[in-house]
């Protein structure tokens, strides 16, 4: 059984047909590329270069029709996107608004490489954010290369956050989020949406450091310091020391330190907290006392395996807190410091899991 209705986009209306409970309409590419993405969409324009050879091959083989099935979301009653943790309104959606559920990458391809054919759009009717999610995620399963980074891009879009640092824009910080959201004793990790929500304010702050641009914790001068554990520790510290000038200075100094400066500090023998972390993450900590010694973290620095999480966060947070409380404190490099000094620092700061 079929019946017809209308899809309205702006001033234009397109006949639609309903088949077995699903509604379809034909719209031109020129109309489709004017539509915004659904509020949970990934940054699809970043995938165009990857997908272009596949799309080009389809057209070259006269199989362009395989690209013409898309999906749209039509808001049928006003609703707000509410942050589940804070109750804040992230966005408001009005009846009649139309967005792209599936086909956002092709939209950017067609903008760059125009085509004149019509598209067959499956229509999903949206009354709340649950409708948006249920409509969107079936099109973005593992089979369609959806991954955590793309989910994080979609969350950034939903929260109307436009990060300036590439790692945040690309969604390449999943492990840091996992670690920053967890607590000592946790056996697993929270869902991505909850982790993003929990750390959102800290992510925004970290994205602005340093205030005047230059090296950042996601693009430090020493490449070894671009580390998920370090990023996680910074997020945790920002949670418990918000708007702390010394913490901001610590992050700036860690991002900006050079290997030359670090080697000079090691040769002099007195290291501040920034230099201690840099020495451990570059392996220079093994050279203390003019020999090859085990590193303070026994070669865990930078690892992202589960067993290394607690030792690394203990170590990092110990030295971050030392810098905040006593930025002039120095470590005798040759003598080092016993692991018992930093053990359970993370637990002492955030407490046990409930």
Any domain includes 160: no
Any domain includes 201: yes
pLDDT tens readout for residues 155-196: 898 888 999 999 999 999 999 999 999 999 887 788 888 899
Q: Are residues 285 and 336 in the same domain?
A: yes
Domain residue limits at 276: 166-350
Total structural domains within the chain: 2
**d(Cα 271, Cα 333) in Å, to the nearest integer?**
6
Q: Are residues 109 and 209 in the same domain?
A: no
Centroid of chain to Cα 236: 16
**d(Cα 140, Cα 134) in Å, to the nearest integer?**
11
Any domain includes 159: no
Any domain includes 152: no
Q: Are residues 217 and 117 in the same domain?
A: no
Q: Can you tell me the mean pLDDT for 236-263?
A: 96
Any domain includes 151: no
Q: Are residues 83 and 124 in the same domain?
A: yes
pLDDT tens readout for residues 69-125: 999 999 999 999 887 767 888 888 899 999 998 888 899 899 999 998 899 999 999
pTM: 0.65
Q: Are residues 320 and 179 in the same domain?
A: yes
Give the residue from 223, 177, 25, 33 showing the smallest Cα distance to 113: 33
- Cα torsion at 149, 153, 159, 160 (round to 10°)? 160
Q: Are residues 121 and 200 in the same domain?
A: no
Q: Are residues 87 and 170 in the same domain?
A: no
Helix (H) or strand (E) holding 303: none
Any domain includes 14: yes
**d(Cα 276, Cα 230) in Å, to the nearest integer?**
13
Judged against a pLDDT cut of 60, whether residue 142 lies above it is answered with no
The mean pLDDT of the chain is 87
Q: Are residues 269 and 128 in the same domain?
A: no
Any domain includes 27: yes
């Amino acid at each position: 059984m079929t019946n017809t209705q209308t899809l309205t986009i702006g001033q234009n209306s397109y006949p639609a047909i309903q088949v077995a409970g699903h509604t379809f309409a034909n719209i031109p590419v020129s109309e489709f590329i004017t539509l915004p993405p659904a509020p949970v969409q990934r940054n699809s324009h970043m995938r165009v270069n990857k997908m272009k050879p596949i799309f080009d091959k389809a057209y070259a083989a006269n199989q362009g029709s395989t690209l013409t099935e898309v999906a749209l979301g039509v808001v049928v009653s006003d609703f707000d996107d509410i942050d589940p943790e804070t109750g804040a309104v992230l966005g408001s959606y009005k009846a009649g608004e139309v967005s792209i559920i599936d086909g956002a990458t092709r939209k950017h391809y067609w903008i760059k490489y125009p085509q004149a054919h019509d598209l067959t759009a499956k229509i999903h009717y949206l009354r709340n954010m649950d409708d948006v999610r249920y409509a969107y995620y079936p099109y973005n399963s593992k089979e369609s290369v959806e991954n955590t980074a793309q989910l994080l891009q979609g969350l950034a879009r939903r929260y109307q956050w436009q990060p300036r640092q590439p790692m945040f824009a690309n969604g390449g910080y999943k492990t840091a989020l996992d670690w920053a959201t967890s607590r000592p004793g946790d056996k697993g990790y929270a869902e991505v949406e909850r982790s993003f929500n929990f750390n959102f304010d800290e992510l925004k702050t970290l994205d602005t450091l340093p205030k005047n641009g230059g090296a950042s914790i996601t693009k430090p001068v020493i490449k070894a310091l671009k580390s998920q554990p370090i990023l996680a520790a910074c997020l945790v510290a920002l949670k418990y020391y918000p708007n702390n000038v010394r913490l901001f200075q610590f992050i700036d100094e860690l991002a900006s330190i050079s290997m030359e400066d670090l080697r000079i500090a090691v040769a002099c023998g007195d290291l501040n907290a920034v230099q201690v972390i840099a020495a451990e993450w570059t392996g220079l900590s093994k050279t203390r006392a003019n020999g090859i010694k085990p590193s303070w973290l026994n070669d865990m620095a930078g690892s992202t395996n589960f067993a290394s999480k607690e030792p690394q966060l203990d170590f990092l947070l110990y030295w971050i807190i030392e810098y905040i409380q006593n930025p002039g404190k120095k470590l005798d490099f040759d003598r080092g410091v016993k692991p018992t000094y930093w053990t359970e620092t993370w637990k002492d700061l955030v407490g046990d899991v409930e």
